[in-house]
């Protein structure tokens, strides 16, 4: 795991506190709340790499575990994600905690796959945030491109950066490009050639994971700097 500081985020709904990881950046320009995907907790290899790359670019990063992920770690067995209302409730707690750490800096919501989808749902509800950074948005279930997860997109008014791979089984690029204009705020798409849903590349391309994470973080940092908060 990275050198992130373990923290707990209290809840007022009677549920146990959320577990989190806090990584402040020196001279931070913004704070990014980074939510994990369905199958990888906040301290997974992907999340460690993504958070570390953001911090290196002057973006403080706060991660958190959804409750099911904390239980899975303690019980040492896989658990399916909770339903959206429970996930959103936890993410609201993390977002409000992040505001206390932001110190007036712009607060961006980012997420890997499911975490990104939950972030967009909060944005569609009008929850205050500077913008969205979406790592592998799960546009549809695998092999079910007809079941699109875009019904809430027109209600999103904040800037959104979509980071996608050309081999992502959960996000057909043609469909993604078709529906991006439906978002109500500024939107950009950055495509990683050969990347799958976790941005893993075929060995024949000769690129290391760290190089890919640097590319993604560079794009995120550039958009956060350019887009108004």
> What is the tens place of the pLDDT at every residue in 80-135?
999 999 999 999 999 999 999 999 999 999 999 999 999 999 999 999 999 999 99
Task: Report how far residue 1's alpha carbon sits from residue 181's, in angstroms, rounded to the nearest whole number.
Answer: 38
Q: What is the pLDDT of residues 15-42, one digit of tens each?
A: 899 999 999 999 999 999 999 999 899 9
pLDDT at 229 over 70: yes
State yes or no: pLDDT of 1 exceeds 70.
no
**Taking residues 176-199, what's their average pLDDT?**
97
- The whole-angstrom separation of Cα 32 and Cα 12 is 23
Buried-exposed string 14-42: b where 16+ CB fall within 10 A, e elsewhere: eeeebbbbbbbbeebebbbbbbbbbebbb
* Average predicted confidence (pLDDT) for the chain: 95
pLDDT in the model for residue 48: 97
How far does Cα 69 stand from its chain's mean position? 15
CA dist 95 and 17 (Å) reads: 13
Does 79 score more than 70 pLDDT?
yes
**In terms of Cα–Cα distance, which of 74, 15, 32 is closest to 216?**
32
| Res 166 pLDDT > 50 | yes
Q: What pLDDT score does 174 carry? A: 97
Q: Are 213 and 50 in contact (CB under 8 A)?
A: yes
SS3 for 214?
A: helix
Record the pTM: 0.96
- pLDDT band at residue 2 using 50, 70 and 90 as cut-offs: low
């Amino acid at each position: 795991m990275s050198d992130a500081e373990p923290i707990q985020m209290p809840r007022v709904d009677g549920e146990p506190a959320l577990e989190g990881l806090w990584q402040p950046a020196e001279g931070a320009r913004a704070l990014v709340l980074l939510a994990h995907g369905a199958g990888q907790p906040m301290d997974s290899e992907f999340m460690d790499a993504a958070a570390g790359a953001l911090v290196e670019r002057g973006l403080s990063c706060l991660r958190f575990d959804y409750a099911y992920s904390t239980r899975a770690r303690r019980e040492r067995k896989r658990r399916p994600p909770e339903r959206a209302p429970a996930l959103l409730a936890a993410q609201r707690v993390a977002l409000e905690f992040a505001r206390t750490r932001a110190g007036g800096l712009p607060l961006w919501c980012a997420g890997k796959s499911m975490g990104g989808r939950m972030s967009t749902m909060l944005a569609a509800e009008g929850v205050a945030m500077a913008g969205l950074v979406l790592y592998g948005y799960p546009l549809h279930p695998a092999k079910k491109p007809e079941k699109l997860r875009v019904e809430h997109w027109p209600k999103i008014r904040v800037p959104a950066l979509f980071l996608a791979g050309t081999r992502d089984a959960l996000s057909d690029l043609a469909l993604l490009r078709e529906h991006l204009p439906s978002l109500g705020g500024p939107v950009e798409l950055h495509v990683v050639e050969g990347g799958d849903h976790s941005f893993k590349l075929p060995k024949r391309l000769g690129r290391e994971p760290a190089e890919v994470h640097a590319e993604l973080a560079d794009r995120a940092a550039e958009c956060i700097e350019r887009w108004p908060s």
